[in-house]
Structure 1
């Protein structure tokens, strides 16, 4: 099930399904490494914003941007994994 990143609790590992925003928001998220299919760990979340771990870096997003990122849980078949994260790094440990 795909839903906004702001709806996942801390400790959840998800995959980015899509970025539901305009060109500027999408460009910003892609520049931060939040590309469709890549795993993201929610370190702290909620309606006020999200702190994430993506590609080994921590990123903090305001609630507006975090709400535009649509994600699915890692075991979901809704999102095809990206080619760059198929190694053991994808476990987000």
Structure 2
């Protein structure tokens, strides 16, 4: 399984942040929002204007440019970092 930008996953997908492919400003912003490597993220909606996700129990709307910089893998994949701090019961797709 390979890393793909967050915008390449359909609504309802539960993925895990693998890396943030951006400069210091983008990385700082994503880390401040709780999108740390290994953290599960649920894609709630995605269209040409942005990407709405649930991360650590909060809903966040990202512009397409920032969402493209977040590289993710399927949540069940063995590849990439894993996070033990996020409750898994909240990260199930509806």
The TM-score, its normalising length taken from structure 1, stands at 0.91
Q: Secondary structure at the match of 1:67?
A: helix
Give the aligned partner of residue 46 of structure 1. 47
The structure 1 segments of at least 4 consecutive aligned residues displaced by more than 4 Å after TM superposition are none
Gaps of 5+ in 1: none
Q: Secondary structure at the match of 1:14?
A: strand
Give the aligned partner of residue 10 of structure 2. 9
* Aligned with residue 90 of structure 1, among 76, 84, 88: 88
- Paired residues for 1:10-25 under 5 Å: 10-25=11-26
The TM-score, its normalising length taken from structure 2, stands at 0.90
Q: 1:45 offset after TM fit, Å?
A: 1.2
CA RMSD of aligned residues (A): 1.1
Q: How many equivalent residue pairs?
A: 90
Measure, in 2, the Cα distance between the counterparts of 1:61 and 1:34: 11
Give the aligned partner of residue 80 of structure 1. 81
Gaps of 5+ in 2: none
Q: 1:78 offset after TM fit, Å?
A: 1.4
Contact 1:8 1:46 in 2 (8 A): no
